[in-house]
Structure 1
Amino acid sequence: MKYKVLFLKELDVSGKQILWDDGAEIIVAGGHSEDVFIKEIREHQVDAIMCRTEIVTPAMMDASPNLKVIAKHGVGLDNINVEYATKKGIQVVYAPLGNYNSVAEHVIMLMLMAARRYKHVDREFRSGNFDVRYTLQDTFELEGLTLGILGCGRIGQIIANKAALGFGMNVIGYDPYARQESMKAPVKLLENRDDVLARADFISLNLPSLPSTRGSMNYAAFQRMKPKAFFINCSRGDVVVEADLIKALQEGLILGAGLDVFDKEPIEYANPMLEMDNVIMTPHTAATTRQAVVRCCTTAARGIMEVMNGKPITFPGNKID
């Protein structure tokens, strides 16, 4: 008998093909609200859920007694109530190796765009000011500057490699769970976050959304940064107090920012950062390269297949007794 998988949104066919080849029936949700998801889960009595950024709630998990696995197309599990899933004996799987290089490259791109004041230059050029180059101030080469990494896990270390080996940057970092001897990248770990904030020309935030991290980049943190430093965030929006970041930019506490994630997504279009020439913004696209999408989708699909066939789980997101 086929097992049923509900995709909460349309995803790449590469993952579907793996599941089809395993005999699965795939249903794609016909809407984006929790009510629609619950209706589809209950109607089809699905065995598995595939999600991307959609929130998977306890009510959704309760809608099908057949539910055995929730697969995340990506890395962070903050959109899934993992604690409740574990309590119900539902396995969570994810794709921790899927998008790390894509995100790291995006961080470097935002750093370059910020350092060269890309948004300002592009706007002036398109308005007819070809001579904008003669009036530019505060543009920088990356070589010789210091990158501070907050969160030195897999993505943080890939960024460090690209920054140090590719651009000749000095890299320092802070991560309470990391050890210098375990670093696979040329990053010097410092004992406290404030020292990283104070010494870096760029800060790259690479933290998950956890009770201990949410709101940790606040006004006091921005006050500790250099006045000509840039803040880059391609991790999670709620780690930053966005109003404090806006205030820091408006007051000139920092020189600029490059952001791919926001506290509220989709972003509110009254957000003043949209009009700031010193802020580069992308709509949560750091992980959307073709290679990353395929890796995430196929890894998550294989996770479903492993659970449904009783095989060892390659990337478990929780531990089921």
Structure 2
Amino acid sequence: MYKVLIPEDVSEVGKNYLLERGYELEIGVPTDEESLREAVQDVDALLVRNARYPKSVLEAGRKLKVVARHGTGVDNIDVDAATKLGIQVTNAPVSNINTVAEYTCALILALSCQIKTSDAKTRECDWSFRSQMPGIRKDLGSSTVGIIGYGRVGSALAEKLMNGFGVRVVAYNLVPITATHELLRVVDSIDEVLESSDFVSIHVPSTPETRKMCDYDFFKKMKPDSYFINCARGDVYVENDLAKALHDGVIRGAAVDVYETEPLGSDSPLLKLDNIILSQHNSSLSKESTDNMALHAAMGIDEVLTGKKVTWPVNKL
């Protein structure tokens, strides 16, 4: 019987998938490095969420054969070390595409319609903001949304915006793509996206090339009445630079769901700003997506341990 460690609990769907196939589960352990090193010593598989899994933890897993990520991003796993140790890493890249795209669309709408300010002013019984709306708000059908990172989520967001609201989309992708919609324009540089977009939405993974790509110079290239949205990874933008850009009026507003350090610290300059919407890394979370993430991670574990072809491999052994 194979043993699977799930340090941070997941949906019943994923656990039941493993139990029905005869796996022994250990659920819920402290996620500091020392505790994880102790816990992985006698397990065959790890189903992981947000805790970090450095080389030292992976090395401690004497029987460890697979690490399955609950979700898409694997920047919390030392994939290079896993590969050298012969450990297969899998993820669940199609589990939350629609969920993240919907959430990003909601943030774009909230920024466009000034929902946060309208709510605050109404609670203050200040109706003067109503007269300012025509000068601030523009219908989405008259707007351009720039998407940097046109993968699964970026393209799903574009489809919702183009087909649902008639939005023009300008897209840049690290790997060349071809325009497939009359409202989609594919460009060759990030600068072209920044200079032409009313909203700039980030959908790139965390890599050495993308980390801190959204800095103060990045924001200065955006239109002064534009908005920045990030539901991707917290380390692809510089929080202090975004705060300065918002404070200085370099851009009109922003909405971010991810941060370099989570939870967001009480000393973050973003908390002092009124022209930003902040949320708690929630964009990938819904009933359907959490079921899918748990199930797809569990499927990856079963595929590896039973010698099947892995559907979503991260590394090549």
Query: Normalised by the size of structure 2, how large is the TM-score?
Result: 0.96
**Distance apart, 1:135 and its partner CA:** 4.3
2:297 counterpart of 1:282: no
CA contact (8 A) 1:153 1:178 kept: no
**Distance apart, 1:184 and its partner CA:** 7.5
Deviates more, 1:172-181 or 1:52-61: 172-181
Aligned-partner Cα distance in 2 for 1:87–1:191? 36
Question: Which residue in 2 is equivalent to 1:154?
Answer: 152
Question: Which residue in 1 is equivalent to 2:168?
Answer: 170
CA contact (8 A) 1:158 1:185 kept: no
Question: Which residue in 2 is equivalent to 1:228?
Answer: 225
CA contact (8 A) 1:14 1:298 kept: yes
CA contact (8 A) 1:214 1:238 kept: yes
**1:244-297 per-position Cα deviation (integer Å, ceiling 9, x unaligned):** 111110110100001111121110122232232210111000010111111111
CA contact (8 A) 2:239 2:270 kept: no
2:47 counterpart of 1:63: no
Q: What amino acid sits opposite 2:226 in the alignment?
A: A
CA contact (8 A) 2:47 2:69 kept: yes
Question: Which residue in 2 is equivalent to 1:103?
Answer: 100
SS at match of 2:243: helix
Choose the corresponding residue for 1:245, options 239, 242, 245. Answer: 242
Question: Which residue in 2 is equivalent to 1:143?
Answer: 141
CA contact (8 A) 2:222 2:251 kept: yes
Aligned-partner Cα distance in 1 for 2:304–2:199? 42
Alignment of 1:77-226 (within 5 A): 77-129=74-126, 132-136=129-133, 137-180=135-178, 183=180, 186-226=183-223
Aligned-partner Cα distance in 2 for 1:135–1:198? 25
**1:31-90 per-position Cα deviation (integer Å, ceiling 9, x unaligned):** 221111112112xx0000111121111111111211000000001111111111011110
Gaps of 5+ in 1: none
Q: What amino acid sits opposite 2:120 in the alignment?
A: R
Aligned-partner Cα distance in 2 for 1:58–1:271? 30
Question: Which residue in 1 is equivalent to 2:296?
Answer: 299
Aligned-partner Cα distance in 2 for 1:62–1:185? 51
Alignment of 1:27-38 (within 5 A): 27-38=26-37
CA contact (8 A) 1:157 1:184 kept: no
CA contact (8 A) 1:117 1:278 kept: no
Q: What amino acid sits opposite 1:166 in the alignment?
A: G
**Distance apart, 1:139 and its partner CA:** 2.3
**1:190-240 per-position Cα deviation (integer Å, ceiling 9, x unaligned):** 111101100000000001000011011111111100000000000001000
Q: What amino acid sits opposite 2:114 in the alignment?
A: R
Gaps of 5+ in 2: none
Cα 1:142–1:21 shift into 2, 3 Å: same
SS at match of 1:84: helix
Aligned-partner Cα distance in 2 for 1:188–1:176? 15
Q: Pairwise CA RMSD of aligned residues?
A: 1.5
**Distance apart, 1:132 and its partner CA:** 3.9
Cα 1:50–1:185 shift into 2, 3 Å: farther
CA contact (8 A) 1:151 1:206 kept: yes
Aligned-partner Cα distance in 1 for 2:123–2:29? 41
Cα 1:184–1:67 shift into 2, 3 Å: farther
Query: Normalised by the size of structure 1, how large is the TM-score?
Result: 0.95
Question: Which residue in 2 is equivalent to 1:257?
Answer: 254
CA contact (8 A) 1:157 1:185 kept: no
**Distance apart, 1:131 and its partner CA:** 5.5
**1:132-182 per-position Cα deviation (integer Å, ceiling 9, x unaligned):** 42344512321120011101111111111111111111001111312216x
Deviates more, 1:58-67 or 1:249-258: 58-67
CA contact (8 A) 1:100 1:154 kept: yes
Aligned-partner Cα distance in 1 for 2:36–2:23? 19
**Distance apart, 1:186 and its partner CA:** 4.9
SS at match of 1:213: coil
The number of residues matched between the two structures is 316
Question: Which residue in 2 is equivalent to 1:15?
Answer: 14
